[in-house]
Amino acid sequence: MKTTYVVGTADTKGEELKYVKDVLKMAGVDAQIVDLGPISQDTSVDVTAAKVATFHPRGADAVHKETDRGQAVTAMSVAFEAWVDAHVADIGAMIGLGGSGNTALVTPGMRKLPIGVPKVMVSTVASGNVAPYVGPNDIAMMYSVVDIAGLNSISRKVLGNAACFIAGAMKFNLPTPPENELPNVGLTMFGVTTPCVNYISDKFKGKYECFVFHATGTGGQTMEKLTDSGRFIGLIDSTTTEVADLLMGGVMSAGEDRLGSVARTKIPYVGSCGALDMVNFGALETVPEKYKNRKLHVHNAQVTLMRTSPEENKLMGEWIGHKLNACDGEVRFLIPEKGVSIIDVEGMPFHDPEADKALFDALERTVKQTEKRKLIRLPYAINDPEFSEALCQHFLEIV
């Protein structure tokens, strides 16, 4: 059994770190404490802060000679990331604990661990927006309920439960996967492109293992990360809606690196315009003032969709086109002329042929077509079975 590392600042959370280690030991799991306190002098821990600091690219002085606490914490976080990289083969699981500072200190190192390695962060900020801490990773955030400032009847139970969760993940093996594992394919989906992606998943059943990513920003980031890691033999990226949120300030952007992994890895890529008719915001009252007079559609109490304009579609077409031009592998980008989502077809609230035309024309003007990079227009909506079949066939031709 590999080691579980209990991570935090021993000068301020020493009692709690030792309690978690003791619970893990009682559960039969080997555990060690890693101290990340930038000024901590605790030598009773298993891995001292001084030791971790030596892994900083500029040496321990980059941490210890920093007089500003915020900068010292940032430097220690960088050192911890390097420490994780150097010890990843020995890390069976990781559990961190602390407030906002410790959460920002520990989670970058957790994000260095492969997906599947158990990771739990017990934090005072776990009930808020945890996206900056979790990113495209399988970090479990657990709300501490009370501040991690000494042990009491509540913190003992919360921290003990977190330790037991990790112990369970460490001690009980998952079922062994089939010997003949199928090749992995990444797919992107949104609620409004579900019929398209379901068709592809059913078509490929038994031939490929399909990994579907919800295009909510983090979903796209996760797919990009796994593509860079070599997980997929190819992508069917039917739902590029995160580009709309990136360019128009929506809440589900995957960032500027969307499609970056395809250029870097050169894996076979089939893409489309799924859900580029919409930008995502929160509840209706959260829509930015500059968009209040636009065509809005309340998807549910927490999600409001804004129909993209012809000008915005032109911008998206150019952005995607330039990204595709950077790809030297096999690329096919399919255009659904009859609609890019389930609500962008005739009779539905976001049906706007002028806006779609601006998108398609911008793509055609921007994409530099070659033998390996092709733009294909089809007289179907994105959720028509014929369009889904075309995505499958083009993928099979180039994979």
Domains of the chain: 3-171 (3.40.50.12020), 184-398 (3.40.50.12030)
Taking only the tens of pLDDT, the chain with its 399 residues reads: 799 999 999 999 999 999 999 999 999 999 999 999 998 888 999 999 999 999 999 999 999 888 888 889 999 999 999 999 999 999 999 999 999 889 999 999 999 999 899 999 999 999 888 988 998 899 999 999 999 888 999 999 999 999 999 999 999 877 776 666 899 999 999 999 999 999 999 999 999 999 999 999 999 999 999 999 999 999 999 999 999 999 999 999 999 999 999 999 999 999 999 999 999 999 999 999 999 999 999 988 889 999 999 999 999 999 999 999 999 999 999 999 999 999 999 999 999 999 999 999 999 999 999 999 999 999 999 999 999 999 999 999 999
- Supply the pLDDT for residue 177: 66
The pLDDT value recorded for residue 84 is 98
**Which residue shows structure tokens 């030596």?**
54
Written as six digits, the tokens of 109 are: 């190192």
pLDDT of the residue at 6? 98
DSSP type of residue 270: E
**The predicted structure's pLDDT at residue 386:** 98
DSSP state of 176: P
CB atoms within 10 A of CB 351: 17
Q: CB 90: neighbour CB atoms within 10 A?
A: 10
272, 338 Cβ separation under 8 angstroms = no
91-98 and 31-35 beta bridge pairing: unpaired
Q: Which residue blocks in the chain are alpha helix, DSSP H?
A: 10-26, 49-53, 61-64, 69-87, 100-110, 131-134, 153-171, 194-204, 218-228, 242-248, 260-265, 310-325, 353-366, 385-398
Q: What is the structure's pLDDT at 64?
A: 87
Report the distance separating Cα 245 and Cα 291, nearest Å: 13
The CA distance from 89 to 12, in Å, is: 29
Question: How far is Cα 394 from Cα 383, in angstroms, rounded to an integer?
Answer: 16
- Backbone φ, ψ for residue 196 (5° rounding): -60, -50
Query: In b/e form, how buried is each residue of 49-72, taking b as 16+ CB within 10 angstroms?
Result: beebbebbeeebebbbebeeeeeb
The pTM of this model reads 0.81
Q: Greatest CA separation found in the chain? A: 70
